[in-house]
Amino acid sequence: MSPTLTAPPRKQASDRGRLEPLTRLVDDALERALPKATLPPQVIHEAMRYCVFSGGKRFRPLLCLGGCEAAGAPARRAMTVAVALELLHTYSLVHDDLPALDNADERRGQASCHRKFGEGNAILVGDALLTMAFAWLGRDGTPNTLAIVREIGSACGTDGLIGGQILDLQAISQPRSSTERNLRDIAQRKTAALITASVVSGALAGGAEAEQIKRLRRYGQSAGLAFQLIDDVHDRDGLAQVMGTEAARQEAQRLIARAVEALEPFGRRAQTLRHLADWLLETAQRP
């Protein structure tokens, strides 16, 4: 199942003061982007909104905005990309929950899309969110749009999300293939690829240079694998089951430290990305 970590911690004033306003900006942008629930055909627009506004963390959009800031541009410059990333992420969850894949009855404490709206509608909801995401990327002349589309498209294709889902299905049907190496490959494709693309696409929108992209890609790859390890620790499956819970937790912490190290040359411009890394670390340390 796709990662379901809880929302960023609210106990740290610095994180709350920086991440919550950005999260509200993303939510407002999603509200404007999505068709009204009453627009025909009503059922699909109602379902799209139901899934997008189901309590998601907006982790990927925040990474995108943080990547844009790290490149030296205002976060708002990457807002169109951030919206597209959340639509893509939501599509992946809707399809992941389907009976042919994880067959999940709930997502984020409420009925999954296919349970509430029917399996056929859920398939079309995922299709609609995916299609809308790429249509949205071409709307407002965001810098480096073609490079951003290539980056995100690769992360969602057979080299990334879809490939990871295929390998995940194979691991379920062939439990003996669930080695640490195979599970890492699944995690890097199914989770880390889109997380990395979120940071990099934001940086591209901000006009980042090649060396900046290289460092931000390193941040995303490390944070993305840490994200999956933490989720597996909390669910007591996947990599945590194969590696052992404490070993998986320690590996996640090492990866987060590596991610933060990659941000050193950016100074204060990478504050949002540091706050997100701090949230991951705090989540990793929870029992």
pLDDT score at 281: 92
The structure's pTM equals 0.92
Q: pLDDT tens digits for 111-131?
A: 999 999 999 999 999 999 999
Domains in the chain and their CATH numbers?
Answer: 13-284 (1.10.600.10)
Residues 248 and 236: beta-carbon distance below 8 Å = no
In this predicted structure, what is the pLDDT of residue 171? 86
CA distances for 261 relative to 74, 202, 219, angstroms: 23, 19, 8
pLDDT at 210: 96
Q: Which pLDDT belongs to residue 8?
A: 44
Write the pLDDT tens digit of every residue in 55-74.
888 999 999 999 999 999 99
Which regions of the chain are under pLDDT 70? 1-17
pLDDT of residue 13: 43
pLDDT of residue 6: 47
> 265 with 215: CB under 8 angstroms?
yes
Burial of 232 (0-12, 13-18, 19+ CB in 10 A): buried
Q: What is the pLDDT of residue 4?
A: 53
For residue 194, the Cα-to-chain-centroid distance in whole angstroms is 6
What does the pLDDT read at residue 148? 97
d(CA 59, CA 46): 23
Measured distance CA(225)–CA(217) in Å, rounded = 12
184-200 b/e with 16+ CB inside 10 Å = b? bebbbbbbbbbbbbbbb
Place of tokens 């995916």: 130
Angle at 21 (CA atoms; ends 126, 11), nearest 5 degrees: 100
Residue the block writes with tokens 């945590």:
240
